[in-house]
Chains A and B, each alone.
Chain A
Amino acid sequence: MTRVLGDEREPMKTISEARETLFTTFSDDWGSDITTLKGVPWGKAMMWVFLLSDTFIFTCFLVGYMSVRMSTVEPWPNPSEVFALHAFGVSVPLLLIAIMTFVLISSSGTMAMAVNMGYQRRKGAATNLILVTALLGATFVGMQAFEWSKLILDEGVRPWTNPFGAPQFGAVFFMVTGFHGLHVSVGVIYLLTIAFRIRRGTYDESNFEIVEITGLYWHFVDLVWVFIFALFYLW
């Protein structure tokens, strides 16, 4: 059946036929008088919209970082030396940052497991995995606090000056990692709240999509760290 623009007499039939290709599905979703995000829970759609706005915020920070690093005429401090740690008698570059990266990836994995357990209605397992995720998140924040105090107290790094090179380094470091650390901290509180509510039975009537929504936020925090690690610490 050929479809005529504006012909709405048999929409159901044509929509099911149009499922053949991705792009006709897309136009059906947006073009007809129906709910656009069919089957997507409201909370999940809203979490995605929030994460999209957060993407813009973090990108603005990272673009600001790119601007100051590209435009400064003083040498940019070498992160692999600034963030080196002395372990076993040798200086290992970026050691703490690498450990933090693995801690955050581990927490993403336990969160993905928690989502899976939630959909299987295994409340106990889901709650425990969320608590493990929160613990790993708190570990990350703790290591970041150690890194900050080392840089502030021992090395004398300030937002306006530092002993290594371009003064913008400190401003970028505190702003980007600080805002990310704030997200991790808020995420830990969010995870604990959700774990408590699952245990209390708040979501027993649902299919535990709340765990997936919480997971979206947590994975996003990990995702932002991927970009910070690559563009700030390694570049």
Chain B
Amino acid sequence: MRTKEPGQQHPIRIYLVVWGLLFLVSALSYSTDFIDRGFWRWTLILLFMVLKAGFIVGVFMHMRWERFALISVVLVPPILLLVLVGLMSIESDYTRSTRIEYFVEGAYDEAVPVSARELAN
């Protein structure tokens, strides 16, 4: 007995198309490994990552057909995580600069205080 109308029924075609696109974008994503590390490699890695994530969440997880209230429940809180990413990158930069200053021999020979030079040796 069917209790109610089935939800999230979509033509099989759309799944097959997205499946194919995911294969294509994965291949492109893998090909970024042959580019030297730099602006374009990192941009392309992020671009293909976001594309793949969009296909999976949007179509396979049916997010584009869900009501806006549910979309907001799922997609708004992760924005907070971007704040965490920002804060931690500032913190990591600072940690790196102090490590270079106090622990890396010869990095800033004149700037390194005597006590830190002893610590490093």
Contact = CB atoms under 8 A, between A and B. Distances in A.
Do these two chains really belong together in a complex? yes
Interface of A: 22-23, 25-26, 29-30, 36-41, 45, 48-49, 51-52, 55-56, 59-60, 63, 66-68, 70-73, 80, 93-94, 98, 101-102, 105, 108-109, 111-113, 115-116, 119-120, 205-209, 212, 215-216, 219-220, 222-223, 226-227, 229-231, 234-235
Nearest to A41: B7
27 contacts: A40-B66, A48-B70, A49-B73, A59-B78, A63-B84, A63-B88, A68-B92, A71-B96, A71-B99, A73-B103, A93-B33, A93-B34, A101-B29, A112-B59, A112-B60, A207-B6, A219-B56, A222-B56, A223-B56, A223-B57, A223-B61, A229-B29, A229-B49, A230-B29, A234-B29, A234-B33, A234-B45
B108 interface: no
A212 B66 contact: no
Contacts of A73: 96, 99-100, 103-104
A36 B69 contact: yes
Given A70-B96, A71-B99, A22 B7 contact: no
Interface in B19-49: 19, 22-23, 26, 29-30, 32-34, 41-42, 45-46, 48-49
Given A72-B96, A108-B56, A119 B89 contact: no
Interface residues of B, number: 61
B115 interface: no
A230 B49 contact: yes
Nearest to A95: B30
A44 to B, nearest CB: 8
Nearest to A222: B56
